[in-house]
Amino acid sequence: MKKLTDFEINRKLEKLQDWDYYDDALHTDFEFDNFKDCMSAMNRIAFECEALNHHPEWTNNYNTLDIKLTTHDAEGVTKLDFKLAKAINKIVEVED
Ligand SMILES: C[C@H](O)[C@H](O)[C@H]1CNC2=NC(N)=NC(=O)C2=N1
């Protein structure tokens, strides 16, 4: 899979609420009401990752979740990263 150009990424980012692009990756962070809600969201996201065979680098700290998406095989951001980011927003119910 080919990595996207910065121009393509920035154009796609306009339609992707709450994500940023830097250091060759998409980034976002979420804060939940508590640890259980955060872990529940992480589990739901994990099943989506398996379905897409595309996996995040993420950090959970009590009720916060930081997510970094990049395509290792392409050494950059690809359409798969955007597909997973959209799915994550849907799971976390980010309003568009
Ligand atoms: C062997 C396995 O299919 C590959 O390593 C998949 C797994 N998940 C992946 N996740 C991400 N973020 N990038 C990849 O290139 C990738 N490749």
Mean pLDDT confidence for 11-26 = 97
Distance CA 47, CA 2 (A): 25
45 and 85 in contact (C-beta within 8 Å)? Answer: no
CB distance 54 to ligand 1 below 6 Å:
yes
16 vs 1, 35, 40, 49, 80, CA distance in Å? 21, 26, 22, 18, 13
Write down the pTM of the prediction.
0.96
Residues 12, 18, 22: CA angle, nearest 5 degrees: 65
Could you give all domains of the chain from N- to C-terminal order, each with its CATH number? 6-92 (3.30.1360.20)
Band of pLDDT at residue 95, cut at 50, 70 and 90 = low
Is ligand 1 within 6 A of the CB of residue 11? Answer: no
